[in-house]
């Protein structure tokens, strides 16, 4: 049996609670989870705690939460189906301070209107909260629909970015 590659992890304090960050052996970030996140990661046996691969991410997250950084420049690596990867790439193109809808994301990737529910599922499965801005996706009627990290955190992030009055 081939051993799985090492997963590195650390936690970083932030206004959303302690953030769990994971990275692959190359140092690419593979997840960012918040406490109580639906589908969030938890530390597994065999993972190696090492803050080294996360210094840039911690600096950029601190600057983002301080309102000083609008775009992350980090090596991100996610592992999803081809459909999910297309949805996540579309999320990456939603600019700071802007919002989009599930239907707009579906259109951006060339999916039909009927695929909006699948797009929502892919957005909900985003393993890189905050870094890949799924919090910028809202309902077609402007409602703040689901967020795996909790609607209170979604409101905080959108307020920080100036997309909501606060």
Residue 166: pLDDT over 60: no
Identify the helix (H) or strand (E) that includes residue 128: none
- Write out the two tokens for 139: 């309902």
pLDDT digits (tens, 9 = 90+) for 47-99: 999 999 999 999 999 999 999 999 999 999 999 999 999 999 999 999 999 99
- Write out the two tokens for 9: 């992890």
Q: Is 41 exposed, middle or buried (0-12, 13-18, 19+ CB in 10 A)?
A: middle
Question: Is-catalytic flag, 134?
Answer: yes
List 19, 57, 90, 134, catalytic entry: 134
Quickly tell me which residue has 């795996």 as its tokens. Answer: 148
DSSP 100: E
pLDDT value for 114:
85
pLDDT digits (tens, 9 = 90+) for 111-130: 988 899 999 999 999 999 99
Q: What is the DSSP string of 9-39?
A: EEEE--TTSPEEEEE-TT--EEEEE-TT-TT
pLDDT value for 3:
65
């Amino acid at each position: 049996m081939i051993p799985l590659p090492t997963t590195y992890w650390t936690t970083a304090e932030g206004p959303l609670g302690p953030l769990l960050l994971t990275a692959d052996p190359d140092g690419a970030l593979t997840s960012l989870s918040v406490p109580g996140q639906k589908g969030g990661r938890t530390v597994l046996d065999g993972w190696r705690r090492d803050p080294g691969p996360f210094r840039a991410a911690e600096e950029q997250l601190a600057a983002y939460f301080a309102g000083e950084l609008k775009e992350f420049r980090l090596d991100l690596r996610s592992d999803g189906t081809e459909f999910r990867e297309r949805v996540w790439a579309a999320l990456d193109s939603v600019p700071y301070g802007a919002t989009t809808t599930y239907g707009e994301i579906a259109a951006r990737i060339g999916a039909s209107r009927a695929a909006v529910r699948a797009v929502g599922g892919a957005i909900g499965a985003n393993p890189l909260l905050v870094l890949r801005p799924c919090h910028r996706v809202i309902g077609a009627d402007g409602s703040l629909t689901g967020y795996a990290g909790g609607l209170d955190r979604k409101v905080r992030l959108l307020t920080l970015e100036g997309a909501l009055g606060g």
